[in-house]
Homo-oligomer: A and B are copies of this chain.
Amino acid sequence: MKRIADSTVRRLSAYLRFLEDFENRGLTTISSAELARRGGTTSAQVRKDLSFFGSFGKRGLGYSVPELAGRLREILGLGREWRVVIVGAGKIGAALVQYRGFRQRGFNILAAYDNNPEKIGGVLEGIPVRDSVSLERDIAREQPDIVVLTVPGEVAQAVVDRIVASGVKAILNFAPAQLHAPADVTVKTVNMAMELEGLSFALTNRE
């Protein structure tokens, strides 16, 4: 398959949310214009985003809401359970564990890891907090698909090296660090300061 840009994948996730909203309101068909309006984009962009994955909708009739929603769930890999572990049982880790949206989408958080003796053996919003020394052994046994990294920036790369060596292929990184991983490992970084910079840019460059 052609390499799909991150921005396209984000729009697909957004379209799915709109479609589910339409489903809840009992709508059965939707035009690319309506999807575009909800997403703040253009009909041409919607059609282009979907065209990567085959042919959808009927000219003049629009898309079937349940059919397109189902297809988007498939494309996004949401038809199954994903096993997730969180490394770093701090405030961001706790915020993520309690986030209801994850389980709803099939993201099942197995455990959190920390090296703080006061946290190890405890429970974080119903999720066990384990000693990070057992990370490799647990990964070998439980085969998590995704690791969420919420450790301090200084130790982030060392943790990435350990989990990559253990065979994990997808990392969601909240640590303020530029991480290096082999090409077959997908690393997505959420950088809070960069999100705010998007706003300071917008405020600075207003017409």
In the complex, the answer to whether A77 meets B13 with C-beta atoms within 8 Å is no
**Complex: how many Å from CA A193 to CA B116?**
27
Interface: A161 (CB within 8 A): no
Q: Chain B contacts of A84 at CB under 8 A?
A: 196
Contacts of A98 in B (CB 8 A): 91
In the bound complex, do residue A198 and residue B188 qualify as a contact, i.e. CB atoms below 8 Å apart? yes
Cα A206 to Cα B169 with chains together (Å): 10
B10 touching A194, Cβ below 8 Å: yes
Partner of A196, one of B94, B105, B203, B204: B105
Q: How many chain copies? A: 2
Instruction: List chain B residues, Cβ under 8 A from A105.
Output: 193, 196-197
Interface string of A177-207 (1 = CB under 8 A from B): 0100000101010111111111111111111
Q: How near does chain B come to A5, taking the closest CB pair, in angstroms?
A: 8
The verdict on A170 contacting B202 (CB below 8 Å), with A94-B91, A146-B196, A197-B78 known, is: yes
Q: Is the CB of B193 within 8 A of A99?
A: yes
Q: A172-B199, A199-B186 are in contact. Are A99 and B192 (CB under 8 A)?
A: yes
